[in-house]
Structure 1
Amino acid sequence: MAMTDTIRVVELASLDIPAAYAGWLLAAMGATVTRVGDLPAAGDDSLALAAASLAQGKTLVPRDSLEAVLESADVLLCDDREALVLAVGGLDVLIARYPRLVIGVHSIFGLDGPYADIPATALDAQALSGVAWALGEPDRAPLSIPAGILEHQGGAVLAAGTLAALTARERDGLGQVVDVALADVLASYVGGNSRFYIHHGMAWHRNGRRASSSGGAYPFAILPCADGEVCLCGRSRDEWNRLVTVMGNPAWAADPRYQSLRAMGRDYPDEVDALVKPWLAQHDMAELERLAIANNLIMSPVRSIADVIATPGFHADGFLHDQDVAGRKLTLPGLPFRATAARRDGERDLASGLLATDAPPASTGPANRPLAGMRVIDFGWVWSAPWVGTMLGELGAEVIKIEHGKRPDTLRLSGKIFRDGVLVEGSSTQMSPMYHQVNHGKLGVTLNAKEPRAVELIRELIATSDLVIENMSPGSLERSGLGYELFRSVNPRIVMLAMSAAGQFGVLAGMRAYAPTMSSFAGLEALVGYPDEAPIGALNVGLGDPNASVHGLLTALAALRRARATGEGCYIDLSQVEALAGTLRPQIVATQIKGEQPTPTGNRHPHIAPHGIYPASGEDRWLTLAAVNESAWCSLATMVGLASDKRFGDRASRLANVAELDAAMAAWTVTQERDDLVARLRAIGIAATPVLSIDEMWRDPHFSARGVKHPVDIPGYGTEEVFRGPWRFSRMAPVIDRRGPLPGEHNTQVFGGLLGLSDTTIAELSAAGVIA
């Protein structure tokens, strides 16, 4: 295979989204991408149009050109293993023929493991991972995220994994297989977010339009306003006080009963809702959006996709743009980040050239730890930015997390810790399992950045670092005397990733948000619900944070590659809201071609029927079931006794009569034992998976076989399994070698061993409140 400068990617096309989105992301950042195979026949099919739109920026060639384009390729992307076997004979043949090739494969359950060879859809990944268990009404069927959205997120993981593998290739010249299973991606999400509940004594279960037990503190719910609905979220006393002030300090708010956020959220949230609703009813969604931005409230309207498309800020920063797709002019999302040489509004965007550089020089170090030798400074808090640093650390980077001892990461402050329902005595700031999930493997130091000497220490760390990560409100670091302009003056090669809610500049820059308000603003919450009913939303899952993490990781890896090749760093301004809105591409297309908001469809699929979550015998027992082709339907219809029912004779008829089909399937499945039925369905080629509770997910053999969890020892809590980044590499294994750091645990190691301060100086700076 010939050496190339810019990354050359071959995309073995299917009619699905993951590989197409991975290729689109890489093309949008400057890689040369060749799509092998035809575009899907689109018509008025929003999923097909969305997939076709992802051909933007790619060269299209016929399938018989595959071997010719592979001769000079660096990366092959695929989400159809059967097509890979038919085209070239399979992975073993590819590896032998092209030893430098990075081969990225996306599937539902991965290339190995107990379920690798069974039929499956994205619905099965949601069932196995615990996502479906947490969505919907508590006494009704579990719900799922609509088709196409999670497939985009799997594609982003695939793109990031291939860049990690290319970094490894710089060390030994060899490619490898990047194996991404959507079930693993979602389990890593759940493995983070569910800990916010189960380790603080709350259930992880469907709870309608409110997160389970309000996520531990009031508010955390979707409530009505004058012309629609609004999502309210708050975790701190300051956030609640700001909301009460904007509401006009009503007399009831001074009652001691409404002073404890945890009691309000867990014990009587409906009572507090009844007090808040009259104020909300006086305001429409637009007014509430303005109030939220002006007063730093964690509140967002539950917006329609049409609202999202019409967002002026999304057009002003170039995120939304017009594109011709299959003869239609559509408004579609672009990259959710900008890369610039300086942190200034209006700077030229470098994002489209991050991968269009000469190849970096060969580097030394172990290829199975491709980021060894890199240093990351992590100012992140809660989930989105810290998870980027953690995944980089698993690949070999040294990650130093900077906190203030008196204002630590919010994840340390979530309250009492429970294990198996029993209170664990000890310091909750040291034990929080979600903190260790999101921050394992890092070094931890404490600094008071308001002190000039602390700023100097940070400057010294930056001088020998490669990447800075933060997800604070725009301008927070600059107001502390830090920021990218200072960092690049110390180290021109430094890359900085800033992950704010809605970008650093523009009319939305003042937005304060947590995952549920971001997903409400991005349009996701209005899409999840039962057929022909008002939306339920997806508050328990918090997709906005981990989705932003993987998009942030992708652009950080691309920018680091550019820095190694050119010696020039850059400033990355990532909008978490845009990162999530960009995964709603099928729904953005559907809104434009149909002229109306996509209504909740429960667990139905636009192309497949039956496709749903159905009851089994017993309490709260459910399974997925999908007949993905006519052969599968014939086998299923015979088993169920529907083979002669003309209403379901072909796919078009089944889709037209899907409500009756769902009712017939549910009437049959409810008489069956769940796991036995799943086994029998799989045996005849039906995609079927039990909907696992969080406890069942933790024990499922798939996740053990895939090695996605590793034990760490948490002081005071004991051994706990944490999830790693959601991929498997054939020639390297992400490493989890320790828990997250305790507050200031590595002050001596970093300030003494790395910066050379004496024990006496460290003690003096600690006494002065600098190292604090």
Structure 2
Amino acid sequence: MLSRVGSNSGPLTDLVVLEVSARAAGAYCGRLLSLLGATVVRVEAPLVLDVPAALDDIVANSLNRGKQSVEFDSADLAEIARRCSVVVVDSRDDDAADGKFTAITRAVQEVCPPRTPVVDLGGLRQTLDNTAAAVPFAPIIATAASGLAWGIGSPDSEPLSLPFDLADYLTGTEGAAAAALALLRSVGEVDDVGQHWDVTAADVLSYYVGQIGSNFLPYDRPWRRDGPRATLSGGSYPAAMFPCQDGWVSIMCRTQREYDGLLDGLGRPEWTRSANFTDPRVVARLHADEADKHLTAWTSARTRDEVFAVGRQYGFPVAPVLTIAESLSEEQFAHRGFFESGPNQMVLPGSPYHLYRTEASEKDRTRVSGWPAAEAQSSKQPLAGLRVLDLSWVWSGPMVTATLRDLGAEVVKVEHRSRADPARLRGRALRNGVPVDGPELEVTPYFNQLNRAKRSVAIDMGSTEGAALIGRLAAESDVVVENMRPGVLARRGLDYESLSQTNPGLVMVSMSMLGQTGPLSGIRGYAPVMSGLAGLDSLVGYDSDRLIGTYNPALGDPNGAGHALVALLSALVGRQRTGQGCYIDLSQVEALLSVLTGPIIQAQVDGHVPVPANRHQRLPLHGTFACAGTDNWVSIAARTERELSAVGAVVNAPHMASSSSITALVREWTVDRDADAVANVMRAQGVPAARVVGYEEALFGERASERGVGTVTSHRWLGEQMVVTVPWKVDGHGFTAGGAAPQLGEDTEAVLAEVLALRAADLAELRQRAVIE
């Protein structure tokens, strides 16, 4: 029997985290660790947030729920610093207070013992060893320098930043995962824990861009702005927002089966019978504009609910694009109890996690306490010896397990030719316009990116014998990760309650779109369906009549993966300390709502949330400006009066430094200047600025090389391909990929022999009965 775990008894209970934050990055990092049981003590300091001034305290208090606080000059600070397990900082090198928070951060670090791990949430670092001068930072700078902004917007308008401090929230999530790993190594009494964990916002966003970008450039699909849809539909039609009578819906089909369901839902009208519209990959590349006209005509004649009902009936992924206010009243979130009561009858984001625990016997406690083995590990391979059973597919789940592999774990991916990972079905990569030769399921760069260095076993999960074989692998694993629809594994006896009977120390993560229970838990969907239901896509655009959404970056998946990783590593900390396993039921849509704290509060207080484009609700200057040449842009932000005065001096308008017209003056000044030159001049004055770069420079440019963004892998069919790896750094080094993705089933016999001690005769019999390939 499983029991629900509350935050007061979570896996990080009794571990102390010291938080020194002036940005949403550090505050949200501490919030996640607190939700998982840590005692988070925050050094009192105001946060710089993208919310109206009147909401500052409300949003800050929401982020700081469950934390304790201490004054910087308090006598208690030294004692807390002495006994804390990890320190989280986000303003060590630069801040939005002309150096005040930076000085406080460094002073706090000086009172911590030298071996205390520090998770340092930076902004835009230029070198791996961080020897270069600090780069002035605001979240808009990370979206510019990472390549993310290049893919959001309309081709005839400026690139769009992520609004409402979202880049900082994403960085805080990755920072919480790194902090959990540092805690895991500490409680495991590993000597080489790692002292300085560097999690930089621009690296985090480049990591996300590099993963989804592997589904673009290798197919001659540009990573560029294409309005409210993925460029060339991201390879399989459709992937876009469509207007309805009462708003918008997101429709995204990634497989032939889903596309056929869409056509069935449309009633197979005459236009669908043309050969042009048979294959969704052909439609995406050659006929998307024409298909959009037909689909728009169909959706425009219906309400969002009517389109949603057709999607559920015919099995294609669709969801209404909710406003933030609408998402607050969605029945699914009420069923899960996601929102919590706040002041003045307000609701606030709760925890996207439902944790469950099972007791371990003394035998099992001994078994799990032997991991990690100190002699087998270093900070370069911190998860060496951990075995992960990967039952996930597409992006979010495989991203979690790929990260674990980067960190040294053995990852065994279960597949089968009759139900291949859809990431294998994105079509052949192109080289110089010519399709790459090789088996159809082995020539997909997207799959290679998300499954680097894993081991592939081909087992028919649909058969009774195959499910039993997977259960035996789970019994010999430390972690299971899955992102299938709720109920799929339970029907095969592979749910956590069944698996934990033979492996009570197992940590298992189920990362479905909406959680394991509730009226919408069974719907199909991908990242844009998530961001539509969470209300995010109603906030990204040029104004409320010209929405763009987040189709190209598809943030629902990497955000969900980051949140899953925080809980998974924290659960391993708990297992290391107590011997108890843990089941994590994560709702990826709730994880998106969790990083929208500001808009959720603003929707309730102000009655609406503006579509900000590139504006900021507090900073006096914040935007993306055209420069000389075609499609050249620079992002600039001034956080303080000093920085605003510096901008005024640069554009020869010091008398206008306190006026809102400074934005217009900056726009006039940049338009005939080189973007890099503009960014350099602004940075020299201590003003955050960066040129908006495309995919190639973000992933292959000088900064990417210095920061170790990726690893070149050698794939049997694809040849050399650079894959991006987990964006954290520790003590001056990053984490590299251990190799290319496996061919389907290439490790089946080796894994079953090594892990389950099956003999050649056993394997031959399983092959003969088509249980394995």
TM-score scaled by structure 2?
A: 0.91
Matches within 5 A, 1:332-371: 332-341=348-357, 363-364=373-374, 365-368=376-379, 369-371=381-383
Q: Decide whether the 8 Å contact of 2:464 with 2:492 is kept in 1.
A: no
* SS, match of residue 412 in structure 1: helix
* SS, match of residue 134 in structure 2: coil
Alpha-carbon offset, residue 191 of structure 1: 0.5
Structure 2 residue corresponding to 1:132, chosen from 136, 146, 149: 149
Cα distance, 1:662–1:425 mapped onto 2, change above 3 Å = farther
Whole-angstrom CA distance in 2 between matches of 1:432 and 1:478: 31
Q: Decide whether the 8 Å contact of 2:20 with 2:43 is kept in 1.
A: yes
Matches within 5 A, 1:290-305: 290-305=309-324
Matches within 5 A, 1:250-261: 250-261=269-280
Query: Which residue of the partner structure matches residue 619 of structure 1?
Result: 630
| 5+ long unaligned stretches in structure 2 | 1-11, 93-98, 360-367
Query: Which residue of the partner structure matches residue 263 of structure 1?
Result: 282
Q: Decide whether the 8 Å contact of 1:296 with 1:510 is kept in 2.
A: no
* SS, match of residue 71 in structure 1: helix
Matches within 5 A, 1:351-430: 363-364=373-374, 365-368=376-379, 369-419=381-431, 421-430=433-442
Q: Decide whether the 8 Å contact of 2:399 with 2:561 is kept in 1.
A: yes
Alpha-carbon offset, residue 593 of structure 1: 1.4
Query: Which residue of the partner structure matches residue 3 of structure 2?
Result: none
Code of the aligned partner of 2:723? V
Residue 23 (structure 1) aligned with residue 21 (structure 2): no
Code of the aligned partner of 2:750? Q
Alpha-carbon offset, residue 362 of structure 1: 7.8
Alpha-carbon offset, residue 692 of structure 1: 0.6
Residue 674 (structure 1) aligned with residue 689 (structure 2): no
Alpha-carbon offset, residue 203 of structure 1: 1.0
Structure 1 residue corresponding to 2:578, chosen from 558, 562, 566: 566
Code of the aligned partner of 2:737? I
Query: Which residue of the partner structure matches residue 55 of structure 1?
Result: 64
User: How many aligned positions are there?
Assistant: 738
Q: Decide whether the 8 Å contact of 1:400 with 1:442 is kept in 2.
A: yes
Alpha-carbon offset, residue 476 of structure 1: 1.1
Alpha-carbon offset, residue 716 of structure 1: 2.2
Q: Decide whether the 8 Å contact of 2:264 with 2:314 is kept in 1.
A: no
Q: Decide whether the 8 Å contact of 2:452 with 2:739 is kept in 1.
A: yes
Root mean square deviation, CA, Å: 2.4
Cα distance, 1:257–1:361 mapped onto 2, change above 3 Å = closer
Query: Which residue of the partner structure matches residue 354 of structure 1?
Result: none
Code of the aligned partner of 1:672? R
Query: Which residue of the partner structure matches residue 657 of structure 1?
Result: none
Q: Decide whether the 8 Å contact of 2:372 with 2:383 is kept in 1.
A: no
Cα distance, 1:23–1:608 mapped onto 2, change above 3 Å = same
Query: Which residue of the partner structure matches residue 231 of structure 2?
Result: 212
Q: Decide whether the 8 Å contact of 1:113 with 1:705 is kept in 2.
A: no
Q: Decide whether the 8 Å contact of 1:532 with 1:601 is kept in 2.
A: no
Code of the aligned partner of 1:64? D
| 5+ long unaligned stretches in structure 1 | 343-347, 349-357, 655-659
Whole-angstrom CA distance in 2 between matches of 1:221 and 1:114: 43
Structure 2 residue corresponding to 1:158, chosen from 157, 175, 189: 175
Q: Deviations over 1:255-314 (max 9, x none)?
A: 333212122222222222222233323321233334434443211111100011111221
Alpha-carbon offset, residue 443 of structure 1: 1.0
Residue 602 (structure 1) aligned with residue 613 (structure 2): yes
Matches within 5 A, 1:492-511: 492-511=504-523
Q: Which moved more, 1:442-451 or 1:36-45?
A: 36-45
Query: Which residue of the partner structure matches residue 4 of structure 2?
Result: none
Q: Which moved more, 1:725-734 or 1:576-585?
A: 725-734
Residue 108 (structure 1) aligned with residue 126 (structure 2): no
* SS, match of residue 342 in structure 2: strand
Query: Which residue of the partner structure matches residue 80 of structure 1?
Result: 91
Amino-acid identity (%): 34
Query: Which residue of the partner structure matches residue 438 of structure 1?
Result: 450
Code of the aligned partner of 1:762? L
Alpha-carbon offset, residue 465 of structure 1: 0.8
Residue 768 (structure 1) aligned with residue 769 (structure 2): yes
Alpha-carbon offset, residue 360 of structure 1: 10
Query: Which residue of the partner structure matches residue 41 of structure 2?
Result: 34
Q: Which moved more, 1:448-457 or 1:461-470?
A: 448-457
Whole-angstrom CA distance in 2 between matches of 1:737 and 1:273: 42
Whole-angstrom CA distance in 2 between matches of 1:731 and 1:688: 25
Code of the aligned partner of 1:501? M
Cα distance, 1:341–1:68 mapped onto 2, change above 3 Å = closer
Q: Which moved more, 1:387-396 or 1:237-246?
A: 237-246
Code of the aligned partner of 2:80? V
Query: Which residue of the partner structure matches residue 731 of structure 2?
Result: 730
Query: Which residue of the partner structure matches residue 306 of structure 2?
Result: 287
Structure 1 residue corresponding to 2:190, chosen from 159, 172, 175: 172
Whole-angstrom CA distance in 2 between matches of 1:620 and 1:442: 40
Cα distance, 1:259–1:28 mapped onto 2, change above 3 Å = same
Code of the aligned partner of 1:760? A
Query: Which residue of the partner structure matches residue 641 of structure 1?
Result: 652
Query: Which residue of the partner structure matches residue 16 of structure 2?
Result: 8
* SS, match of residue 171 in structure 1: coil
Residue 472 (structure 1) aligned with residue 490 (structure 2): no
Q: Deviations over 1:707-762 (max 9, x none)?
A: 22111111122222211112111287534221111111111220122222223332
Code of the aligned partner of 2:643? A
Alpha-carbon offset, residue 429 of structure 1: 2.1
Code of the aligned partner of 2:189? R
Query: Which residue of the partner structure matches residue 164 of structure 2?
Result: 147
Whole-angstrom CA distance in 2 between matches of 1:569 and 1:434: 32
Code of the aligned partner of 1:335? S
Q: Deviations over 1:629-656 (max 9, x none)?
A: 22222222122122223xxx42xx42xx
* SS, match of residue 215 in structure 2: helix
* SS, match of residue 426 in structure 1: coil
Structure 2 residue corresponding to 1:117, chosen from 105, 122, 134: 134
Whole-angstrom CA distance in 1 between matches of 2:173 and 2:416: 33
Alpha-carbon offset, residue 132 of structure 1: 0.5
Query: Runs in 1 of length 4+ with deviation above 6 angstroms?
Result: 358-362
Whole-angstrom CA distance in 2 between matches of 1:767 and 1:761: 10
Code of the aligned partner of 1:231? S
Query: Which residue of the partner structure matches residue 753 of structure 1?
Result: 754
Whole-angstrom CA distance in 2 between matches of 1:486 and 1:593: 46
Code of the aligned partner of 1:743? L
* SS, match of residue 254 in structure 2: coil
